[in-house]
Amino acid sequence: MEIDKAIKESDDRRLITKYNNAIYVIQRALSLYKFEEVAFSFNGGKDSTVLLHLLRAGYFLHIGKSEYTNGNPANCNMKCTIRTIYFETPSAFPEINSFTHETAATYGLQMETIRLDFKSGLEALLKEKPTKAIFLGTRIGDPNAVGQEQFSPSSPGWPPFMRVNPILDWSYRDIWAFLLACKIQYCSLYDKGDIWAFLLACKIQYCSLYDKGYTSIGSIYDTVPNSLLCTSDSSSNKGHFKPAYLLADGRLERAGRAKRYFPLASEGGLVASNGPNSVESRQNNTLTASVITLGDEILFGFVEDKVGFSLLKKLHSIGWTTSQVSFVRNDIDSVAEVVEKQKSANDMVFIIGGVGSLASDVSVAGVAKAFGVRLAPDEEFEEYLRHAIADHCMGHRNEMARLPEGITELLHHESLQLPLIKCQNVVILSATNLTELDNEWNCLLGLASSGSAVTFLTPFVSKHLSTTLTDVETAQPLSKLCLEFPDVYVGGYRKSRVGSLIISFVGKDSLRVELAVQAFCQRFSPGSFYEVNCG
Ligand SMILES: Cc1cc2nc3c(=O)[nH]c(=O)nc-3n(C[C@H](O)[C@H](O)[C@H](O)COP(=O)(O)O)c2cc1C
Ligand SMILES: Nc1ncnc2c1ncn2[C@@H]1O[C@H](COP(=O)(O)OP(=O)(O)OP(=O)(O)O)[C@@H](O)[C@H]1O
Ligand SMILES: [Mg+2]
């Protein structure tokens, strides 16, 4: 098989290792699922082109093995007629479209073109034909790769199938090393020092857009050539471009892809820029927060969430209103789901827990997923980590230095060993106990003046009355009072079913709170209430 031969003959040990691992994943998938129940998701992009050739090689080796065990020699001309799905849209580049169809014809793929969005298309596909697993060219740097492994079940809410990602751990360099290596025999005829001769010689079959300055390809509306490949000084995208494989820093692969842009506070984004109506909220002296606590141990009932409770009190003390408290499992999708909802419904979201290098530490990944961005190495944070955990920050601990790309702001403070991570209006607190929370909170307040952390609002004033009156007696006057004093929170709660009822009046204007208390008490005989201290 030409692919297997070209890779084995290359002296690129790293590529050989990546290749062997990918082939192993493909062979496992082909052993686990029936051939007619697997599909290949092919979009003509460079990653899926690599995957196509890996699948051809993997299929050949897989069949070869079983043929061999049956006593038959492997058939070298055998084609990998894998079911192939392509989601075709009018917004795709014509070059990508034609490359996809031509390649499918060249390699005898069983092409199924789907003209629906991914989710609906997959639902229809699964209804029509049993499909247990789908091969994807997703790589770890892709925004949608967050939390995925080589075998990852489709996300909750998606039709059920296994996503198989054989090249998940491949870098940009690996992709091009593979594409180039598989045609390397032609290059030996030419002077490798002459890049143009090299280019002409290496008639690598990949979409022509990769020679026009594109390094990652989305739709015609959100993709431009990568300016880092432009050979002229002009930043206009009309210049000449080096081929995609000459991009020096693979982390900038998506520089030509439009980002979902979220302004950083330092770029003029307001502290609570994603809040529902932040400017008015501030003018009205009301900002809302949502607190999300991570921890299977809390959900099991093993541990009490004292840190979250303390944070609620702290938020209240600076005049913020907490709209919701959520407890979520240590699971990226669960975190992402809650963060996604809460970040747009609140001025600020605070996440407690899930920070560190354990497999259960998924806060950062969950936030990245909620914003639809990838995790990328953050040199500044890595430097802090190096100081904080010295030489322990090798290996998997380096994962801690991967932060949501393009939306992360590091909040430094001299009292913090590591800066706090803020992604737009989401702040990740690493405190595990009350002392640590006090420290992080004080730092946030200390940073308030720089505009990158929480803002002080007029604090709340509250009064609490205790009474032995029944709910029935107090309910109607309370409802009327709420209408008369919409700017004062009025509510009741019990400490026990038979004990006294506590009625709270909370607001920002002490006079209005006092007036509400008086208006309420006047509706009952004197001595019905006495003031108590709460919280
Ligand atoms: C076959 C297939 C399966 C997918 N399965 C999921 C899934 O389970 N969960 C999910 O959130 N997105 C899923 N997606 C969507 C992708 O995560 C992603 O949005 C898409 O590949 C576009 O990537 P891009 O933004 O890098 O162009 C799937 C896409 C395809 C083509
Ligand atoms: N329109 C589509 N039809 C079929 N599969 C798709 C489509 N879009 C994405 N995919 C799948 O998702 C994977 C990742 O998508 P991505 O946009 O990163 O493409 P790619 O192949 O990686 O090319 P590039 O990164 O250069 O754009 C693809 O390799 C492919 O398996
Ligand atoms: Mg890609």
Q: Once rounded to an integer, what is the mean pLDDT over residues 13-32?
A: 93
Q: Once rounded to an integer, what is the mean pLDDT over residues 360-388?
A: 89
The pLDDT > 90 percentage for the chain reads 47
**Which ligand is closest to the CA of 137, given by its number?**
2
Binding site membership of 43 for ligand 2 (Cβ less than 6 Å): yes
| CATH code of the region 2-173 | 3.40.50.620
Name the residue of 42, 84, 116, 118 whose CB sits within 8 Å of the most ligand 1 atoms, as the mutation to test its pocket.
118
* pLDDT > 90? residue 384: no
**Which ligand is closest to the CA of 222, given by its number?**
1
pLDDT of 65 reads 62
What is the three-class DSSP state of 86? strand
Binding site membership of 172 for ligand 2 (Cβ less than 6 Å): no
pLDDT of 530 reads 92
**What Rg value do the Cα atoms of the chain yield, rounded?**
30
Of all protein residues, the one whose alpha carbon is nearest to atom 22 of ligand 2 is 47
Phi-psi region of 457 (alpha: psi -120 to 50; beta: other; left: phi over 0): beta
Say how far apart CA 217 and CA 212 lie, in whole Å.
11
Distance (Å) from CA 113 to ligand 2 centroid: 14
460-504 tens-digit pLDDT: 999 999 999 988 899 999 998 988 998 999 998 988 888 889 999
Name the residue of 114, 138, 144 whose CB sits within 8 Å of the most ligand 1 atoms, as the mutation to test its pocket.
144
At 326, the pLDDT band (50, 70, 90 cuts) reads very high
Mean pLDDT of the chain: 83
103-152 tens-digit pLDDT: 899 889 999 999 999 999 999 999 999 999 999 999 987 888 888 899 99
| ipTM, interface predicted TM-score of the complex | 0.97
Domain 265-450 has CATH 1.25.50.20: no
Binding site membership of 322 for ligand 2 (Cβ less than 6 Å): no
Give the residue with greater pLDDT, 69 vs 336: 336
Domain ranges within the chain, ordered by starting residue: 2-173, 184-256, 265-450, 461-532
pLDDT of 121 reads 96
pLDDT of 29 reads 97
- The strand ranges marked E within 115-220 are 133-135, 151-153, 162-164
Q: Tell me which range, 171-175, 250-254, 511-515, is most confidently predicted by mean pLDDT.
A: 511-515
Domain 461-532: CATH class, spelled out:
alpha beta
Q: Which residue in 28, 35, 32 sits closest to 130, CA to CA?
A: 35
Q: Dihedral of CA 350/353/357/358: which sign?
A: negative
pLDDT of 393 reads 52
Name the residue of 38, 40, 41, 43 whose CB sits within 8 Å of the most ligand 2 atoms, as the mutation to test its pocket.
43
403-413 tens-digit pLDDT: 998 889 889 88
Binding site membership of 138 for ligand 2 (Cβ less than 6 Å): yes
pLDDT of 535 reads 66
Distance (Å) from CA 339 to ligand 2 centroid: 26
